[in-house]
Amino acid sequence: MTEHPADWLVSPELAPSFEGTALAPLFEHAERGELAMPFCAECAEPFELDQEVCDRCTGTGAHWRPVPPSGVVHARTLVHRTASPLLRTTAPYPVLDVELDSAHRVVMTTLEPATRDWQIGDRVRVAFRRVGGVPVPAAVPTGDTDPTKEEPA
């Protein structure tokens, strides 16, 4: 078994269990370094991660395929609660709601401890943290901002 460095945020006991679940394709693709998301098997409309029926065509069944590992921060929060014995950090950490360029939304934290103040509109690249050996999506700043975001006057 391959040794993986400890995750910066959580203990290995919090690794997601995905075998036999609807999210299995997400983690199977992540093992290959790909970000995959679900689409309607009939009309290719982007699905939410747990969606079973298409809002557009009422088709059922998801088809998972790789998507560009990039997006923009849609919402953010800074979590200050760090007292849990399962948390490995003692500093506040960000939780980001990222709208992927594929039109999917995924909530994640960062690949490494945050050293910056995340803002709505920040562009990100999606990489993978390893929690108990399981690859979990995580945000990496690109240094860009969303070109459609209006600057304050």
**Under CATH, which architecture does the 12-145 domain have?**
Beta Barrel (2.40)
End-to-end CA distance of the chain: 55
Q: What token pair was written down for 36?
A: 């995959």
Predicted local confidence at residue 4, as pLDDT: 61
pTM: 0.87
Report domain extents, the chain: 12-145
pLDDT tens for the chain, 153 residues: list them.
455 678 999 999 999 998 889 999 999 999 999 999 999 999 999 999 989 999 999 999 999 999 999 999 999 999 998 878 899 999 999 999 999 999 999 999 999 998 889 999 999 999 999 999 999 999 999 976 555 555 444
Predicted local confidence at residue 82, as pLDDT: 83
Predicted local confidence at residue 6, as pLDDT: 84
Q: In angstroms, rounded to a whole number, what is the distance separating the alpha carbons of residues 131 and 39? A: 26
Q: What is the 3-state secondary structure (H, E, C) of the chain?
A: CCCCCCCCCECHHHCCCCCCCCCHHHHHHHHCCCCEEEEECCCCCECCCCCCECCCCCCECEEEEECCCEEEEEEEEEECCCCCCCECCCCCEEEEEEEECCCCEEEEEECCCCCCCCCCCEEEEEEEEEECCEEEEEEEEEEEECCCCCCCC
Burial profile 116-148: b = 16 or more Cβ within 10 angstroms, e = fewer: eebeebbbbbbbbbbbbebbbbbbebeeeebee
